[in-house]
Amino acid sequence: MTIAAPKSSALIDPQFMSRLDQLDILSRKLLAGKLKGERRSKRRGQSVEFADYRNYTVGDDLRFIDWNIYARLDKLFLKLFLEEEDLSLYILLDTSASTNYGQPNKSLYIKQVAAALAYIGLVNYNRVTLAAMADGIVAESGALRGKRRVAQMIDWISKLQPSGPSLFAESCKRFALSNRNKGVCVVLSDFFDKGGFENGLRYLAGGRYDLFCVQTLCPQEIDPDLQGDLKLRDIEDDDMAEVSITQPLIKKYKANLNAYCLSLKEYLSRRGGTYLFSSTTVPFDTLVLNYLRERGLLG
């Protein structure tokens, strides 16, 4: 069921890139950027884009007083403009061995989505940080900014090889400790961790990050086509599960999967995060252009 690692050119094609140019990363939170960026922040700032008025108070910059209002109303109002600042976009890719499974392959799918999101971030002068997690943070791209970093970003993603066990909690902890800036955090994973997803998401949800979790599963996981007496081997840790495939077992598996996804969704909802489920059969551009927009990650 494993397939070869994707080639870099297969990650994202130019046509798709051009469509992505029109998108930007949205954050539902007020996130303070370090540098001015191209993103219209919800903070009031010094951009050219009008946002609101407020009463003048002593000490305010006189340049922003709306003199026309003053002429008509004889009151001093201050014009407020949207602040344009940069946004930190953190993309966590699951590169544990379990992602190297399924047809279409989960790993490739995760990489494609990550590349698309990173591309949008870079195009909009956001600070994009990519991190690959398996039994920890196995690779981190460092902060990338600007369209010029797109090639570097794609190259970095392309080199990722799925391997090793999944220690989601450890990975999240490491990531949270090393990236203290606020920002949008997108986690791309199957969230199959024997230690549970809660311990990991605890570090990411409800704090600095505007959290988006995209659970990516392949059709073989969603609707397993198995039969007979099988010894199921976990490709991460070689753990064995002896099963005799019966209709009730399949039914129970699907119910468990559904419950697992729901529990993840609920966990995120309670902590202000956003959950998005995707099968690898859904074309990743559809996911990016439609689903992620609908969920408010992109705009």
Give min distance, CB of 27 to other proteins, in A.
Answer: 31
CB 160 within 8 A of CB 132: yes
Q: How far is the CB of 279 from other proteins (least distance, A)?
A: 13
Query: Shortest gap between Cβ of 108 and other proteins (angstroms)?
Result: 14
Contact status, residue 82 vs residue 41, Cβ threshold 8 Å: yes
Which among 184, 129, 182 is positioned nearest to 157, based on CA atoms?
129
Locate all alpha helices (DSSP H) within 236-283, ordered by sequence. 247-270
Q: What are the backbone dihedrals phi and psi of residue 17, each rounded to the nearest 5 degrees, phi first?
A: -55, -45
The pair of structure tokens assigned to 231 is 């010894």
CA-only gyration radius of the chain, Å? 22
Binding site for other proteins (CB under 8 A): 1-2, 98-99, 101-102, 106, 190, 192-194, 218, 220-221, 224, 226-236, 239-249, 252-253, 255-257, 260
- Nearer Cβ to other proteins, position 72 or 231? 231
Closer by beta carbon to other proteins, 124 or else 166: 166
Tokens of 98: 């379990």
Kindly tell me which of 63 and 231 has the beta carbon lying closer to other proteins: 231
Q: Which amino acid is at 202?
A: R
Strand 88-94 and strand 127-133: the pairing is parallel
For the CB of residue 173, give the shortest distance to other proteins in the complex, in Å.
20
Q: Which is nearer to other proteins, 60 or 266 (CB)?
A: 266
Nearer to other proteins among residue 126 and residue 279 (C-beta): 279
- Could you tell me the smallest distance in angstroms from the CB atom of residue 86 to other proteins? 37
